[in-house]
Amino acid sequence: MSPRRNYPKNRRPDTPEREISTSNQSFEEHEDGDYIVRKITGSSSTKPYRCPGCDQMIPMATPHTVAWLDGDEDGRRHWHNGCWAKKAHRRPNTERTRNAPRY
């Protein structure tokens, strides 16, 4: 289903891909799919977003992470950098049967 994968480690600068021309975009494999991940700087963040990781707002002008499933750019979500990192480090076979930690 998904077209060629473009791993950041093997980025070929002279190969035109469907990727938008951003240098801060990368590709990550997660337990629930393959994600395109883009780091947003504070200056390019012009409106607040709700982070799906913690259900809190990401204020304007805050550096954060935008991620979407490969091939589903319409479904992209905005994450706090820390929340995205936590998602990335989650393992499929741990935490699943335990209660979510309370903060």
- Interface ranges with Zn ion (CB under 5 A): 51, 53-54, 80, 83
The CA distance from 35 to 79, in Å, is 13
- Least distance (Å) between residue 63 CB and Zn ion: 13
- Rank residues 11 and 39 by Cβ distance to Zn ion and give the closer one: 39
To Zn ion, the closest distance from the beta carbon of 53 in angstroms equals 4
Among residues 63 and 71, whose Cβ is nearest to Zn ion?
Answer: 63
3-state DSSP assignment of residue 68: strand
d(CA 86, CA 80): 10
Nearer to Zn ion, 3 or 101 (CB): 101
Q: How far is CA 70 from the centre of its chain?
A: 10
Tokens, residue 6 = 């473009």
Rg, Å, the chain Cα set? 15
The minimum distance between CB 77 and Zn ion, in angstroms, equals 10
Closest CB to Zn ion belongs to which residue? 51
